[in-house]
Amino acid sequence: MFDLTDRVAIVTGGAQGVGGGISRMLARAGAKVLIADLDLETAEDTANQISKDSGIVECVETDVTSYEDLKKMIGKARDYWGKLDILVNNAYAAADGQQGGALEVTEERWEEDIRALVTSVYAGSKYAIPLMLETGSGSIVNISSVHGFLVARKALTYETGKAAVIAMTKQMAVDYGRQGIRVNAICPGHIVTERIKESVWKDNPSGLKFFEDQYPVGRTGVPEDIGNAATFLCSDEASFITGHALPVDGGLTIQLQENFGVQQVHYYMDNLDTQMPYKR
Ligand SMILES: NC(=O)c1ccc[n+]([C@@H]2O[C@H](COP(=O)([O-])OP(=O)(O)OC[C@H]3O[C@@H](n4cnc5c(N)ncnc54)[C@H](O)[C@@H]3O)[C@@H](O)[C@H]2O)c1
């Protein structure tokens, strides 16, 4: 197991979902974890679980779309433990309603989404780096997505934002590598979080099965899959890895769309009624 004993880590959006998995896995590897989340109650529940598992953890209410909150978050890590070794920029919540393409996305929605997806990563890192420079080392992990490489229809702001996170990862890796700071991105495939389980798949198990079948490993992900990848990237064993965007996606992005191969198209056309598992 990778050893992060005595490392100080911040996980934004670390209360639940992907961030919850990252908080748990970093703490299990020995890191002191500050969960920075909008939802303080859920953050405290997760912190209690981590403490029961002998982890060292604190929480701070943070909105990553606020520069002031992000500065406060970094200050809290210093107050609690005197330094900062790891920052995981993970938090994001989609605004209500459909996104759309350039014609549908309003100017307000564009500003709001880019602030949540991109500006939060820039600002969190900007305030974290000075603290990392004090010790001459640090690791930043940005949570992008397979959508940072591949695009879905009418999802302009998410796809643009996640691709920008990959570009920013490379830029910061080049800018601060000589000062001991590594910056990497993780690009998760579909991760079945508490929220997604409840809101998307609970009443649609055949839809989830259809989704799982798209993955070469035959399953979708769980938050701990991303937590394990983050733990590795923050460990000394990854000291020669920087500026990388690591797909953690069960092989999703290396595969041709096999369901659209000629044979499969004929099969689907012949069996259309039984091959449409999504609810309509
Ligand atoms: N779940 C997936 O399938 C998946 C796939 C690829 C990438 N991702 C990325 O993983 C990250 C987490 O997504 P998730 O699915 O775990 O979401 P989630 O909704 O399950 O959890 C998000 C957490 O972030 C917190 N949060 C939301 N907005 C915040 C803000 N402005 N400031 C601080 N905290 C905030 C929430 O309170 C919650 O605890 C996102 O960057 C998302 O794009 C998720």
Residue 277 in domain: no
Residue 275 in domain: no
pLDDT on residue 271 = 54
Helix or strand or coil: residue 188? strand
pLDDT on residue 97 = 75
Range of the domain at 207: 8-270
CB burial of residue 137 (10 Å; 0-12, 13-18, 19+): middle
Catalytic residue IDs: 158
Tell whether pTM > 0.85: yes
Residue 141 CA, ligand 1 centroid: distance in Å: 14
Per-residue pLDDT of the chain (280 residues; tens, 9 = 90+): 899 999 999 999 999 999 999 999 999 999 999 999 999 999 999 999 999 999 999 999 999 999 999 999 999 999 999 999 999 999 999 887 778 999 999 999 999 999 999 999 999 999 999 999 999 999 999 999 999 999 999 999 999 999 999 999 999 999 999 999 999 999 999 999 999 999 999 999 999 999 899 999 999 999 999 999 999 999 999 999 999 999 999 999 999 876 555 555 555 555 555 544 444 3
| Ligand 1 binding site (Cβ under 6 Å of any ligand atom) | 12-13, 15-19, 37-39, 42, 62-65, 90-93, 116, 143, 145, 188, 190-191, 193, 195-196
Alpha helices in the chain (DSSP H): 17-28, 40-52, 67-81, 107-114, 120-135, 156-176, 194-196, 205-213, 223-234, 262-270
The residue whose CA has the least distance to atom 42 of ligand 1 is 92
Question: Which residue of 18, 160, 162 sits with most ligand 1 atoms within 8 Å of its CB, as the best mutation to test the pocket?
Answer: 18
> Which residues make beta-bridge pairs with 35?
11, 59
Residue 83 in domain: yes
Cα Rg, the chain, nearest whole Å: 19
- Rounded to whole angstroms, the Cα distance separating 127 from 156 reads 28
Q: What is the CATH number of the domain that holds 22?
A: 3.40.50.720
DSSP state of 13: T
Question: Which residue of 11, 92, 99, 120 sits with most ligand 1 atoms within 8 Å of its CB, as the best mutation to test the pocket?
Answer: 92
User: Residue with structure tokens 């990862």?
Assistant: 169
Residue 14 CA, ligand 1 centroid: distance in Å: 8
Residue 97: left if φ>0, alpha if ψ -120 to 50, beta else—which one? left
Amino acid letter, residue 143 = I
Residue 280 in domain: no
Residue 169 in domain: yes
Count of domains forming the chain: 1
Atom of ligand 1 minimally distant from the CA of 220: 3
Residue 266 in domain: yes
Task: Express each pLDDT in 232-241 by its tens digit.
Answer: 999 999 999 9
Residue 279 in domain: no
The residue whose CA has the least distance to atom 1 of ligand 1 is 191
Residue 187 in domain: yes
Atom of ligand 1 minimally distant from the CA of 221: 3
